[in-house]
Amino acid sequence: MAWDRNQMAARAAKELRDGYYVNLGIGIPTLVANCVPPGMTVTLQSENGMLGIGPFPYDDEVDPDLINAGKQTVSQLPQTSFFDSATSFAMIRGGHIDLAVLGGMEVSEKGDLANWMVPGKMIKGMGGAMDLVAGVKKIIVVMEHVSKGGGPKFIPECTLPLTGKNVVDMIITDLAVFQRPDHDSPFRLIELAPGVTKEEVREKTSANYVD
């Protein structure tokens, strides 16, 4: 049986390590925050200028000056710090963030990521995604294995405009996990969701990978 959204987030959370500074994208990646193992210290960074994101606030503690990069109200922690956007991206671009978990529309077998625009549709913009993939030490993409139309999303070459070239380290889908040790190596199928077979993954993937 394929993983659901929370299970995909839980699988991504297995990549967390004690002491990590982590940036989580919008959607399924945000759910990773709920899966930090007890006893592990993970500090979440928000592009709009916050290190140490707390849980959503109680109703009477909502503060318009305290939001995350998804523009949702959040709370602060005793260890929280605030800073400006240029400093925030010095952290991101400068390689100070250990891990980013992002959503994806397409990932190529060479690790290219497309997740910001579909030609012909309204373009909302890339936000901080291009900076994250360019600067964060490890990039995990969490996405459905196939598109709404049923086509593969892990493919030989991206057809959509890129967010970054050769930037993805790990792909977690509802069916499987792919990983590569460095940016010169091919992706390897390292894990299957319960009840999913290698053959099913092969059938629903057009990218070349090792299994």
Partner 1 sequence: MAQKIYPDAKAALDGLLFDGMTIAAGGFGLCGIPERLIDALVESRVKDLTVASNNCGIDNVALGKLLRTRQIKKMISSYVGENKEFERQFLAGEVEVEFTPQGTLAERMRAGGAGIPGFYTRTGVGTQVAEGKELKEFDGEMYVLERGIRADISIIKGWKADETGNLMFRKTARNFNQPAATCGKVCIAEVEEIVPVGSLDPDCIHLPSIFVNRLIDGSPYEKQIEFRTVREREAA
Would you please indicate which residues are annotated as catalytic (active-site) residues?
Answer: 47
Handedness of CA 146, 148, 151, 157 (dihedral sign): negative
| Binders in 160-199 for partner 1, by CB under 8 A | 161-166
Using CB under 8 A as the binding rule, whether residue 76 contacts partner 1 is answered as: yes
34 is a site residue for partner 1 (CB under 8 A): no
For the bound state, the minimum distance from the C-beta of residue 183 to partner 1, rounded and expressed in Å, comes to 11
> Smallest Cα–Cα separation from 161: which of 126, 109, 187?
126
Closest separation in Å from C-beta 39 to partner 1: 21
Question: What pairing do the DSSP bridges indicate for beta strands 50-53 and 43-46?
Answer: antiparallel
Contact positions with partner 1 (CB under 8 A) in 120-149 = 122-131, 134-135
- Using CB under 8 A as the binding rule, whether residue 112 contacts partner 1 is answered as yes
Ramachandran quadrant class, 150 (left: phi over 0; alpha: psi -120 to 50; beta: rest): left
> Looking at the DSSP assignment, which residues form a beta bridge with residue 34?
none
Candidates 16-24, 61-69, 187-195, 199-207; binding stretch for partner 1 (CB under 8 A): 61-69
| Size of interface with partner 1, in residues (CB under 8 A) | 51
Tell me the C-alpha distance between 141 and 136, whole Å.
13
Supply φ then ψ for residue 84, to 5 degrees. -85, 170
Work out whether 104 is an interface residue with partner 1 (CB under 8 A).
no
DSSP conformation class of 198 = H
Report CA-CA distances (Å) from 129 to 10, 89, 204.
22, 11, 26
Minimal distance, residue 75 CB to partner 1, in Å: 9
* Least distance from partner 1 to the Cβ atom of residue 187, Å: 18
**Shortest separation between residue 149's beta carbon and partner 1, angstroms:** 23
Closest CA relative to residue 46, chosen from 72, 10, 11: 72
55 forms part of the interface with partner 1 (CB under 8 A): yes
82 binds partner 1 (CB under 8 A): yes
83 near partner 1, judged by CB under 8 A: yes
Q: How many CA atoms lie within 13 A of 167 on its CB side?
A: 27
Sites of contact with partner 1 (CB under 8 A):
46-50, 55-59, 62-68, 70-74, 76, 82-86, 88-89, 92-93, 112, 122-131, 134-135, 161-166
